[in-house]
Structure formats: C-alpha cells, structure tokens
Structure 1
Amino acid sequence: MDIFVALSDPTRRAILEILASRGELTATEIYEHFSVSPQAISQHLKVLREAKLVVMEKRAQKHLYRLNPQTLSQFETWAQQMRQRWEERFSALDTLLEREKQKFGIDEQESR
C-alpha cells in the first residue's frame, strides 16, 4: 500500500492525529471518535497497517494500535527534501525576477 494513498483520506489522517495525541489505543477507543461504523474504521486501520503507518499488536482480546515511527520518519525526510527543492526553485525565481527588474529599471515601489 502506498503511503500517499493511505494519507489521502481525511478519516485515516484523523486516526493518525488521534494516535499521535493519545498514544496507543484499542480499536474500540479509535471507533469512539467517529460517527461511522466500526467496520468502516476497521477498513481504514487495515489500510494504515498495510502502508506501515500504524502497528497493531494483539494483547489478549484487544487489538492495540500505535503510530509506526520509522515510516513517519521516512515520510518526514521526504517532505523536508521536497520543501528544500521548492525553496531552492523559488529562490532562483526571485533572483531571476530581480535581474529582470534591474534590466528594465523597475524599482521595488513601481512593481507593487
């Protein structure tokens, strides 16, 4: 399962936010935060497990869910790399625009 497919759904993102703020929770504790059926939340949890965003541990009769820090760390690294690339591109665009303004004698006041 692709991490982006898993993150594309607002309910799955909400589940991740709940786990981030509350820590380890049972499936029932997660269901209680939503107005949809337990089966629907179970499907969302399955997608999150397949994407390795959450880890499920079975203890006695309970299924406990928690965030998977390794996958989240990998996603964070990717997001930071994307942000850096875009910042570099915007910086290069700013430099180009400044050169063009100087070439045509446009000062900061005129361009606003």
Structure 2
Amino acid sequence: MSDLSTIFAALGDPTRFAIVERLLREGEQPAGKLLDTGPVSAPAISRHLKVLRQAGIVEQRIDQQRRIYSVRPEAVQSIGAWTMSHREFWQTSLDRLEFALQQESDRK
C-alpha cells in the first residue's frame, strides 16, 4: 500500500478522481468503458489508470483481451482512517467557530 501523500496526489487530478468515483459507484469496469469518464483519449486513460495502480488505489485483472479495473478496498480504508483520525480536530475547530459566530451575532 502506498503512503497517503501518494494516494492524495493521484486523486488530485480531476480525471483520476472521476475514474475512482465511477469505479466506487459502479464496481469494476474494463478500461474501454472508462473512456467516457472525461474528455481524454484512450492512451490518456491508460496513463491515468497506471498512476492509480502505482498509487495503490486501483487494481487490474486480466480477462482474456480486457483489462478490468476496480478500487482497492485498502486504499479507501486508509483514506477513511486518516479522515477519522483528524475528525476531532475539525469538529473542535468548527465548534469554536460556531461559538465565535454566535457571540458576534449576540452583540448585534
């Protein structure tokens, strides 16, 4: 499994993010069905899939002539674990902001 910075860097590209979103929503897909993910060529989709594979986000299986792609559950789990580990920080920050805004509103 790649580290989170590699995963986030790979997902930072809109086309790659759209590919992962589609795979999460629709399940595994052959590379050819991913061509309508964005305004990119077949070779560009292949390059995007390679980046996603190298980052450990998607995996590929071969079915005769087709390459079938799916999201690796471990990648989604690592993103979820990282998000949850920072949840308390964000919740506390948002609570402080809400309190400050309420005080400002009460003064008016």
Query: Are residues 1:35 and 2:39 paired?
Result: yes
Change (3 A) 1:55 1:92: same
Structure 1 residue 91 displacement after superposition: 3.7
TM-score by length of 1: 0.78
Gaps of 5+ in 2: none
Q: Which runs of 4+ in 1 moved over 2 A?
A: 32-35, 88-95
**Residue number in structure 2 paired with 1:14:** 18
Query: Are residues 1:66 and 2:63 paired?
Result: no
The higher relative CO (CA closer than 8 Å, separation ≥ 6) is in 2
2:28 aligned to which of 17, 24, 42: 24
Q: Report the structure, 1 or 2, having the larger helix content.
A: 2
Q: Distance in 1 between matches of 2:48 and 2:86?
A: 27
Question: Secondary structure, in 3 states, of the residue corresponding to 1:56?
Answer: strand
CA contact (8 A) 2:57 2:71 kept: yes
TM-score by length of 2: 0.81
Question: Secondary structure, in 3 states, of the residue corresponding to 1:109?
Answer: helix
Structure 1 residue 9 displacement after superposition: 0.5
Gaps of 5+ in 1: none
Q: Percent identity?
A: 34
